[in-house]
Structure 1
């Protein structure tokens, strides 16, 4: 009995050593993103079909992705501090921040909601100004006013290439 208590106590005390020792589960998040982007119908119908697809085909994908994340990708991330899956750059809240500097000026790009919203912070004579771009409407720019996206009217252009344009 004494040996069991000693083993249980060591196990409980060492449990804290393993907390937060896991990766970002990039593959599982990628599968989740694919499932979340499926649109069949609208409203509750779309939610029903996403749930239905998650039960059979995506449950297998989640299982395989989870096992690969735990056994391979998270171990790689633990030892190299880099995960080979691209989505792993995002934090657990779905946010990714990148900064670009040139000639003493810095532009900050903040991707949120797993890349659905891009906020660009750029220096202006009046300070730093933020412009938002939405993944669902990439050809438009917005400002965030009172919690709502207000479209910035394009006065000249096109500033962005047409949707069907091929990049060289």
Structure 2
């Protein structure tokens, strides 16, 4: 009887892995990794890694079997970085504070002004709120394309590939596209 139960459990566990098609973000494992990388001395970092290496296995298994499956079926990561703020260098050479929210991001400019990028799950859209002004940015369509809202008030359906992004850049920049390196 015990042998049958073990085989059944192994088959069910393998089935959940094979049929869920869940890659996931491995949030718990990555949080542990980020914490360990945050130790400034590389020798202390290695020592801590060796000592807590079983924790990596536990976090990896927890992500693999539980958290990533929850993320796949619910659409949200239970270990998401909600509430955390990261400082990000902009292309203009200035520092921006990006706070992760449950439904988007709050970006604080170097001037102190705030811009909200909000995802509406019901309408499947991303929008921007700045200085009391609400502007929809784009909507995900059922067919895998994106309806992008242009600055002139028009909208444009594009595919999520290089060709679609190129045509969107051309439409937003009035046919002028500069490549930077």
TM (norm. structure 1) is: 0.38
TM (norm. structure 2) is: 0.36
Greater RCO (Cα-Cα under 8 Å, separation 6 or more)? 1
